[in-house]
Amino acid sequence: MKNYTTALIALLICAALPMAIAQRAVPEGAELADLIRLKMAMDSIEKSFTWQTGKIDLPDNLASIELPPNLRYLNAEQSKMVLTDFWGNPPGVNSMGMLFPTNMSPLSDSVWAFNINFDEMGFVEDKDADVIKYDELLKELQKEAKEGSKERVSQGYEAIEIVGWASPPYYDKSKKVLHWAKEIKFGTGETGNTLNYDMRFLGRKGVLSLNAISGVEQLNLIKENIPTITNAVAFKEGNRYADFDSGIDKVAAWTLGGLVAGKVLAKAGFFVVILKFIKPILIGIAAFGSMIWRFIRNRRNTENEQ
């Protein structure tokens, strides 16, 4: 009877946890009880997230986001935890919060999300919108990525390679929104390439960024949500692009081409700009689960002592 029960539990665990954990992400010596605790820990983490829906007001009366029913908001503190502890980005990632699909967990291997930031760089002029040579900008980005990658590797992180445009840059003149997508390879690309879909909303004093992070296979899904996101974001009165006052407001040193070419890269480096999405189920206990694994080990040692 005991063997039958154990086998049944094992089947349930394999159904609850993707085979990636069972086959390749579980540390040597892991026991069935550990897998059960892992599943419980993942459920506990999911329940700890505090979600907001409807209208979201960003800090400093900057802007608001009228969320559609298919999206929900996670605050800045918990978003940084997702980006660093769960998705494997280096510490120091900036975030004003993230937007997630309402039907997906941040721990899901098929999740995608928008990370929100604001750069108070000043008023970005868009006079170069029709003359930018994006193919040349791509070559500059790839060169900068190669150089910046050396720094990452020296600090113990994976190398970065910009494969190319996943979606070429496009500027919506009427809404003052610039967006483009890069396909990025981290390390050997064993877990699949990352998609960074960048949206830049131009305002009076700077640029509001919504950066979609996912696997490249979700590009079409992200693109389907771009019109919705474009219509959902609005600067508050006094912060809109049309509110610019040339007599008192600062003009940014960068134009649209500078945004695409990586103005922020030059300022802050790849650690806070190019964000990595690594399927949580593939890193399993090894990365985001290291914290869980320590918890499991400590708890089991305590139980053994008792």
Q: What are 97-113's pLDDT values in tens digits?
A: 999 999 888 877 778 89
With bands split at pLDDT 50, 70 and 90, how would you rate the model's confidence at 304?
A: low
Q: Of residues 90 and 266, which shows the higher confidence score? A: 90
Length of the chain: 306
Enter the tokens of residue 37.
Answer: 């605790």
Share of the chain above pLDDT 90, in %: 35
The domain limits of the chain are: 52-283
- Which of 94-103, 153-162, 282-291 is predicted with the least confidence, judged by mean pLDDT? 282-291
Q: Of residues 295 and 62, which shows the higher confidence score? A: 62
pLDDT at 40: 73
Amino acid letter, 233: V
Whether residue 227 is predicted with pLDDT greater than 60 in this model: the reply is: yes
pTM (2 d.p.): 0.74
Whether residue 48 is predicted with pLDDT greater than 90 in this model: the reply is: no
With bands split at pLDDT 50, 70 and 90, how would you rate the model's confidence at 209?
A: very high
| CATH code of the region 52-283 | 2.60.120.1690
Whether residue 288 is predicted with pLDDT greater than 60 in this model: the reply is: no
Strand partners, 101: 71
Crossing angle (nearest 10°) for helices 32-48 and 2-16: 40
- DSSP H helical ranges for 167-306: 219-232, 256-261, 263-268, 280-283, 289-305
Q: Around Cβ 292, how many Cβ atoms within 10 Å?
A: 19
With bands split at pLDDT 50, 70 and 90, how would you rate the model's confidence at 215?
A: confident
With bands split at pLDDT 50, 70 and 90, how would you rate the model's confidence at 278?
A: very low
Cα dihedral 222, 175, 118, 262, rounded to 10, equals 70
